[in-house]
Amino acid sequence: MASAPAQQPTLTVEQTRVVLSEVIQAFSVPENAARMEEARESACNDMGKMLQLVLPVATQIQQEVIKAYGFNNEGEGVLKFARLVKMYETQDPEIAAMSVKLKALLLPPLSTPPIGGAIPSS
């Protein structure tokens, strides 16, 4: 029987919680925290530079964790894991909370305009 192409790993809600927790913990490892800080400083809060400098480092950190769970070691694996997390966010409050925490680690805080949509004049 011929082997089928590699399929997306299927994780249960519980397994997804474990992997997501490990991904978040990976950002706390001193070496990874230093890599992220260096990338953030180089990006100077410029969203374009964040995508060029911070996102690749964050992707590498996530890949190191998720590859042990069958996701490929390329950006595609991180995207598939993100889709899986997104799917479970609505079903599991713990996954939803961890997802928010992970996003906060990846993205700089964004300032939003006031609710009225008006931009304050200087």
Q: Which domain holds residue 46?
A: 13-106
6 located within any domain: no
Tokens of 14: 């519980």
Q: How far is CA 21 from CA 2, 64, 71, 108, in A?
A: 36, 13, 16, 20
**One-letter amino acid for residue 110 of the chain:** L
Q: What is the DSSP string of 18-62?
A: HHHHHHHHHTTSHHHHHHHHHHHHHHTT-HHHIIIIIHHHHHHHH
Instruction: Tell me what the mean pLDDT of segment 78-104 comes to.
Output: 94
28 located within any domain: yes
115 located within any domain: no
22 located within any domain: yes
The 10s digit of each residue's pLDDT in 103-117 is 988 876 655 555 555
8 located within any domain: no
25 located within any domain: yes
The model's pTM: 0.78
pLDDT at position 76: 87
Tracing tokens 């700089």 back to the chain, one arrives at: 108
Number of domain units in the chain: 1
Q: How many other C-beta atoms are found inside a 10 Å radius of the C-beta of residue 109?
A: 7
